[in-house]
Structure 1
């Protein structure tokens, strides 16, 4: 039994440990005794906190002088111990950058991960916006995108969208000036660049260099069009982060917009379990790894210590604002709308799937298996995972079939299903809400038998090609589900992704076996 009455009433951090002495949760408190006691005196705990309390076997604490110190200490302890029940901040998505290399004639291209070479701009939320901007910059300023300078001009040089430094058509100083202007656009200083170009256009016209003046006019027109497409343009001289979220069924769906001097520079998406004080914990964890801006806009008030903690991290004052009306409230609403679109746009098809398959829970996590081979050779299996209706590619798996010879899809499905879920059992991993098999009644029966042998009770279904018929255990006929209904289309999408992933792996293995 944890003795909470002996705890001090000062601010500080508390550490819960399990029966093996492993730290499973780190928290902060304004009053340690009151905060820790609340875990054991309340009966309305959320499910995750209930599991935490059931696992607590030990308690330790550290007193701090104030709440700001508690925030700082909490993050240090979380990073050190990686507690199981603290929220795990993993980006829901990764976005690409625009990269300008550090070369005599720098090239511009898309990069997934910064590696320290050259300069990176982004990450960009929309792939279409990024590619449109990249295409515009290459065309406007004639920047090269080739990996190596070719010995003769390429097609882009012939059609006038590249200045062709490979041919000596442009000097290094002039080319670098073009790069500088492209970077001005990427930094958001479009207005300043337009002013410079207007001055150059007037000077060129005065010198009767009409072709150059027309080129500059076209650049100005394109840049003005680009400026109009900026979603957030509020002429600010400071940076802001805007945070909003929706909590649903024990899960928090949170989005953070980075606004750079009034221009939306990017966004980040997170999902984690809903617990008491999750917003304050999120802010503490997130800004431990990201420099806080001058202003953070939130939908609800948080403890005053949050502003002090962020100011400590930044080294200058950080304002934490909860607007009730006006421009900043509109921005909060915009972020919330994006949360709804990003996380709940697929909720309808999940509800439909639950209804048609008579599932006990919403199929938040779905895993689908497929087999690929060529006349029984190089047989492989794939497993794709969908989370909240979207591909969760970090958790895709592929299998090289070990125990099956010849063409036997039933045995192959049985092997990969057994390997996947026996390993999850052994490691104590989380099982999906639905297992989907690419195939008909035979493949379904093989997979169902494996789950029965393992003692795993997870809903399972199969979707057959051609007629897109959906089968579930215990029924000899397919479900009355039309192939053009939302639920069926969703299953087809998942099955097709599993098939694509299996085919890709199969082709990779075949290439390795080809003797040159």
Structure 2
């Protein structure tokens, strides 16, 4: 089974491979960890998914900055690898454009491909957002959408959503001005256009031309919020390699993003020892075996000799870019984020929890307890262990509750915590660095009381489900850690695993009881 614990709780794409290393499935996810874990936790998969799981041998992931970027990446990876278990769309379409035609009275509409006359804006990631932008621009500026100018006005003219050049209601110069404004909006210049229109509106109002001022006011209101809806795919005409690295503890952790015409296609990871001039040495060795793309984006300047070497290897000029802002800088930052999550994600979670709880040492070994029952029946307890930020399933434990009758979660927590650490004390086994109990202040107090009774000292915290509040001993209120902060997310991850393990045992016992 794939170890889904290594997947981050971040948006991106997951890539499944078979035993031969071939890509057999590509999927996108808002939360990679939850999505991948669902393949192994659910029992009611369809036959196709069951066949996929049966041949699945390895999995990888690429983190993206948003779910929208994951959509773009998924589309590119599927087209690149043609995975067996993805839907086979032989007439697969890419993302569509908004098209302004050529001619004296340009029409506005949707085009599947860029090419031919007129101007193309996009492509847009979301069809829903593209249609929204098209609708607002079309109505705000009264642009025609008919393929041929009719001989008499249509319904859109009567509704006031078209300026009706067919009826001679607008001249060519005035229509061209509307097209100019629409073009500015579609190019992402909505704020600049809104500022200019606001000045024009004020001028109309000062001269008592209130009808024209109201028309401009409505235009401004429509276009001001459009930039947030214009999710457009980056579309340069050449391929790029995005390369960045992180040096830590004597090692270099380096990642290459291969970007094919604006779309992230794949990533490669490298780890090697730090040495003088390691970055330029790596570039020379790597591109000695791979043809350089037209542009290489780097986090720092390199010598002119390296740029000349890349150009010589390619046979044409290679641009070496060190961006400070813009899309290329965002891609560098995304590569750095992938390095952190791939190589240091677990360590970062532990260190974040240490800071949040003010612990003297990093909590490398954490044990978490949960109670599960159905209206007081088949009451069980679970204990999961995380070591180095990852589940250590060999050391999971489950408990039948012996001393508690009815529904009493406090007493149940006290029993399982007491049994666990009384036995460890008798055996002389090592204690964990931190104990987590599922629940609020009551469960925390129950665990502390039993540990005091058996004379075992371990840091203990609890997490309450509803608001994901973390309680520590000696404080009546939860500590000020947001539920979306790294430390809280790590505690939630551990608690969720304990909850899953407890529910599984509870269902097992109820199933046995029903069979008996």
TM bracket (short chain): 0.3 to 0.5
So what's the TM-score if we normalise by structure 1? 0.41
User: What TM-score do the two structures reach when normalised by structure 2?
Assistant: 0.41
